[in-house]
Amino acid sequence: MSRVATRVGLVVSISSVCGAMCAPPPARRLADMIQIQNLTKDFGSRTVVDSLSFEVRPGVVTGFLGPNGAGKSTTMRMILGLDRPTSGQALIDGMRYRDLPRPLTVVGALLDARWVHGQRSARAHLAWLAASNDLPRGRVDEVLDLVGLTEVAGNKTGSFSLGMSQRLGLAVALLGDPRYLLLDEPDNGLDPEGIVWIRRIMKRLAAQGRTVFVSSHLLAEMALTADHLVVIAAGRLIADMSVQAFIADSAISSIRVRARDLGVLGEALTSAGGDLERLEDGLALRVHGLSAEQIGEVAARVGAVVYEIYEEHGSLEEAFMRRTEDTLQYHSAAESKVAV
């Protein structure tokens, strides 16, 4: 295979061995992604985003995680041209946001759901945006329906709850049918049904081949929603990997064993190098340092009757805490005392 770059953002694969019977190779839009390159932002003497480099790809949900004050919103604002980088750059489709033709049709963003003019109705707000961006008027009712606001579309947005404002914010983001979605804590204020709803919407948008970049503090939810993670702390990149890899790298996994002869088995497992914890019910052991296969072999050797061997995987929350605990800027006094 040889590769020929045709212009910024387009790379076409050409097979040198493929004859006339071969279907033409699919073109891959290399720049169909967000590219963050050495992005840095100083506020006065403070560096709040520090030489960040990563890419956000289409077709998957990428979760953007970090403790309070890590620099997530500032990064998103720089991608959207709302904050000027001190150095480095953020590119969408290989371009800066301000150079995009008809940006609302390329990137949809939900940063602060409360910025809407409170005296305007949801429909009027969307209609104004559609008109000023040369978008079809019919799209307004489509997105209202999509976010479940049709019934209250005539109400003033000032009367909306936080969750309803988030839904309206998502409607704005989707108005131009964009290929990129940047969502800053879209689950903030949503009820449980709303959280499931937004999870499904994000997954569906990604499955359609769009690029979905979403920040959230709801880690259990992110574990269900995101395929890929970009984790930052104190403005620096901590991880850029799949959710599974992040958990496997950072959270402790163990194996729970339920057996009839726990005493005999426990001694044998300790001799084999396992680190054991007897669980509260007294009927099971938690084993660190040995694989399920090794435990099975030891059990067979000592003739222990095993009822269950169960792999316990660490959670995203546990992995996140481990990887970011040294960088926490904002945590409660009570936590500090406990730590002392």
Ligand X SMILES: Nc1ncnc2c1ncn2[C@@H]1O[C@H](COP(=O)(O)OP(=O)(O)OP(=O)(O)O)[C@@H](O)[C@H]1O
**Residue 157 binds which entry of ligand X, Mg ion, none, with Cβ cut-offs from 5 to 8 Å by kind?**
none
In the complex, the residues that contact Mg ion under the rule CB under 5 A are 72-73
Fill in the amino acid letter for 300.
A
The answer to whether residue 78 forms part of the interface with ligand X (CB under 6 A) is: no
Nearer Cβ to ligand X (189/296): 189
Q: Which stretch binds ligand X (CB under 6 A): 61-69, 106-114, 220-228, 285-293?
A: 61-69
The answer to whether residue 323 forms part of the interface with ligand X (CB under 6 A) is: no
Q: How far is the CB of 67 from ligand X (least distance, A)?
A: 7
**Residue 43 binds which entry of ligand X, Mg ion, none, with Cβ cut-offs from 5 to 8 Å by kind?**
ligand X
Q: Residues 229, 65: contact at Cβ < 8 Å?
A: yes
**Cα 234 to chain centroid, rounded:** 18
Nearer Cβ to Mg ion (113/298): 113
Q: Which stretch binds ligand X (CB under 6 A): 6-14, 68-76, 271-279, 289-297?
A: 68-76
Cα(78)–Cα(91) distance, rounded to whole angstroms? 10
Q: How far is the CB of 65 from ligand X (least distance, A)?
A: 9
Site string for ligand X, 16-55 (x = CB under 6 A): ---------------------------x----x-------
The answer to whether residue 70 forms part of the interface with ligand X (CB under 6 A) is: yes
Nearer Cβ to ligand X (32/185): 185
The answer to whether residue 73 forms part of the interface with ligand X (CB under 6 A) is: yes
Nearer Cβ to ligand X (71/274): 71
Q: How far is the CB of 335 from ligand X (least distance, A)?
A: 16
Which residue among 68, 208, 253, 336 contacts ligand X (CB under 6 A)?
A: 68
The answer to whether residue 74 forms part of the interface with ligand X (CB under 6 A) is: yes
Question: Which residues partner with 310 through β-bridges?
Answer: 256
List residues near ligand X by CB under 6 A.
Answer: 43, 48, 66, 68-74
